[in-house]
Structure 1
């Protein structure tokens, strides 16, 4: 997924708080950002503030902290059938996806010291010298994957930039400089394509561009006031919008292939499809038919895990993570009614039996397994009504 390109910020470093960018060369240039603030998560949510999900959220956070969080990071999943002392494949992987989501949760829940501690741990475990994070660490083999995942890096960058905005600090400016420069060099193309990964070992990048990876609110942080910066951002927006499948099934193709100049026709993973809708909603570009479709699925409790591009269901299971993403979309849109409907479906999957090793977790019996993505996305969704 990759090819070198000029750094969007005019080969620049994002300096948050002061809305200033410094060129990476000998000449320094001050540029006024399009936004004076970052995409601070709490500022995106327009739903009525309440503590309706506070107790359930606390129980879920306690489960994550006690059963999934380690000094290396957060397990991909946790099974009640596998003891922590066992080197089981089913819950020993550490993902950068989880790191970014947990950092955003810690920030949203005002856990300043824990945020700094966990970021240090994330860097110790997943950071690669090229200026990116490996998408996966295997503690059993003590092996770090050579590739990153661009969306995961964007999540981490958003968390770092939001921290500095929220606490009026410059703590992570240097970190952001390195991450932004590497991201622009390895993952973005002049055509606007955001590639899914860069392999730090082989020095190669993918050719595929997943539409779920276009986190526009964070990408906007890289947009300066120059014509070039604005043009690139709008190319990215146009590329994603071009993947729209139509009003009859108002979601988006899974990915775009720059070499073939074509959108994928492969089945849609629903969580990825909803990430596309969320990213569009955050910048005011969510289509009315997409929102209507999502409301209908929530009303019918029918948000399934996978669909064909024609809208046919191919995986009848549903997950708390999907309803949490729906809740986040409704929160951004300021729709209290559907936010609460979606959150009730999220916590309908919470284990409430206190004797269970999965107490507080989101799981669907009889599976006896809980996934980090579902848990962490749901924690973020619950915070939308508390901030």
Structure 2
């Protein structure tokens, strides 16, 4: 079972939409509004259009984030659609609130996670359906990200409750998903067993470094994980998708999902690998085509699909920031926002919409929003 394989939400930009966007006056392509309601202890400069869209269109009644704008349904327990809520989304939303400096938004959603996703012992369901019923498995990367957010917020706002919750989740991770010196994808709470696979993109370096700095994992555990990531064997310049622990083997996909690759790149860069073959490929591909496609052929390195994804650009921006490449980050940003509805009169202002059909995926809104906020925090955008 692979919980990380959430399909890219493909976007086709019709020529009329491009024309409308290009005709908008420059000062209407980005509309900043003052946040008058926040109780944050930090000074919040602006509410970004993407945040406005999420607050207006992507919230369920219980405060969780819906996966899609439309309320589609599925009988596949391993798929999230419609108004299903994901721990992945909540972790990214927390991260955005932290980067924004919005304590009220952060605290509200930390409570949502505790009430809707988390058991008292710190285990977090990766999905909760619209009726509030959670699945019986979790996802390591989501739990790690949430602990990172909570520890960071606990330090920033000197909030002991945030750190206490992070400690509870961390204990669950280390008890259930760190087996024989290796992190595992998930833990099935009903069957009481962990996966014997680790999806490489699940090893979020920012969270793991933080756990080490918080003295939650040992020096040995930290160094082994870091070494594992830095020494990943490449296939034609691409990272493996996952590692089968019992067999000691890596798995590669014939069609490489760029999101998976970028998550790994983000972590290896954090661990100190700044000159990877994959990053060189990515930059050259964008230089040659002015586009990043959703998937590439592992053998030919040519695009395997025709679609782009705003979340790919958002994650590439985060990688560029980690590589201290502000010019590349800006180039990626201006390509990314071509997919955003920036007409302030539109019902879907701020959203990364697919207008055929009229729908969107929360991931394709959260990652670009987080990237944009980080660009402002870095003063790359003014």
The runs of 5 or more residues in structure 1 that have no matched partner are 2-51, 83-88
> 1:303 maps to what in 2?
292
CA deviations 1:154-198 (Å, max 9, x no partner) are 11111101101212332322212211111111111233x221100
| Contact residue 127 and residue 134 of structure 1 kept, 8 A | yes
| Contact residue 196 and residue 209 of structure 1 kept, 8 A | yes
| 2:192 aligned with 1:203 | yes
Partners of 1:60 and 1:289 in 2: how far apart? 33
Partners of 2:113 and 2:162 in 1: how far apart? 14
| 2:204 aligned with 1:219 | no
Give me the TM-score of the superposition, normalised by structure 1. 0.77
How do residues 319-334 of structure 1 correspond to structure 2 at under 5 angstroms? 319-334=309-324
The aligned length equals 325
| Alignment CA distance shift 1:372-1:224 (3 Å) | closer
Partners of 1:377 and 1:208 in 2: how far apart? 26
RMSD, matched Cα: 2.5
| Contact residue 230 and residue 271 of structure 2 kept, 8 A | no
> 1:268 maps to what in 2?
256
| Contact residue 130 and residue 200 of structure 1 kept, 8 A | no
Give me the TM-score of the superposition, normalised by structure 2. 0.78
**Which one of 71, 90, 93 corresponds to residue 99 of structure 1?**
90
| 2:304 aligned with 1:314 | yes
> 1:281 maps to what in 2?
269
Moved more, 353-362 or 317-326: 353-362
Partners of 1:224 and 1:107 in 2: how far apart? 19
Q: CA deviation at 1:308?
A: 4.0
| Contact residue 197 and residue 245 of structure 2 kept, 8 A | yes
Q: CA deviation at 1:61?
A: 0.8
Three-state SS of the structure 2 residue aligned to 1:340 is helix
Runs in 1 of length 4+ with deviation above 4 angstroms?
Answer: 353-356
Partners of 2:206 and 2:175 in 1: how far apart? 19
| Contact residue 229 and residue 268 of structure 2 kept, 8 A | no
Q: CA deviation at 1:145?
A: 0.5
Partners of 2:48 and 2:214 in 1: how far apart? 42
Three-state SS of the structure 2 residue aligned to 1:256 is strand
**Which one of 102, 111, 127 corresponds to residue 136 of structure 1?**
127
Q: CA deviation at 1:293?
A: 1.6
How do residues 1-387 of structure 1 correspond to structure 2 at under 5 angstroms? 55=32, 58-70=48-60, 71-79=62-70, 90-140=81-131, 142-191=132-181, 193-223=182-212, 229-246=218-235, 249-266=236-253, 267-299=255-287, 300-310=289-299, 311-354=301-344, 356-387=346-377
| Alignment CA distance shift 1:90-1:201 (3 Å) | closer
Partners of 1:99 and 1:258 in 2: how far apart? 29
> 1:5 maps to what in 2?
none
> 1:9 maps to what in 2?
none
Q: CA deviation at 1:371?
A: 1.2
